[in-house]
Amino acid sequence: MLQIDHTLVSRDLLEVRFCCDLGDCRGRCCVEGDSGAPLSPDEIPMMEACQDQVRPYLSQAALDVLDRVGVCVTDADGDVVTPLVEGRECIYTVFSGDQAMCAFELAFLDGKSTFRKPLSCHLYPVRITSYRDYDAVNYHRWDLCKAACRLGAKKEVPLYVFLREPLIRKYGPSWYEQLCYAASHLEP
């Protein structure tokens, strides 16, 4: 583990090679799992504010869930998460054939919204657990991401480099610079 400011960072972020391979996984992380995407309290008003921009991307089934339960729900573990359609995919999942994409990200990329997507999605496969005095920043291993690990190894892309933008979004450029410094000075 590395300590950077108020975080404890798993060395996996430096050692694991990772690069999403959507051609292989088809965005299944938006579909598989037992709960929606974890949300922080500050994201909920941002999500609510861009609903008019996001709704046109959503399926009727997703709109029905959204109208019934709202932009977020509390799951069985007590975490605030995105709702699911029929207990499966996140309501913000949009399909192009069998490829899953995020409605928030599509609206962002189309210039219709300034909210990119929930940070937990942007950071995946990194998961952050907040404790009283620090955040634990860990790599979540999942079979769905085996192709991403193969592609990352082939391209020689460390996980922290692949996730540069969302890590800076979460902790800022100074924190990320410290992570890069640690990566360049630690023994393998």
Cα-Cα end-to-end distance for the chain:
13
CA-wise closest residue to 146 among 51, 61, 29: 29
- Residue 62 contacts residue 120 (beta carbons within 8 Å): no
Average pLDDT along the chain? 94
Residue 95: in which H helix or E strand, if any?
strand 93-96
Tell me: the pLDDT tens digits for 19-61?
998 888 888 888 887 889 999 999 999 999 999 999 999 999 9
Residues 29 and 37: their CA atoms lie apart, in Å, by 9
CA-wise closest residue to 124 among 77, 154, 162: 162
- Residue 35 contacts residue 81 (beta carbons within 8 Å): yes
pLDDT of residue 78: 93
Tell me: the pLDDT tens digits for 85-104?
998 899 999 998 989 999 99
Give 164's pLDDT tier (boundaries 50, 70, 90): very high
Pick the more confident residue, 182 or 34.
182
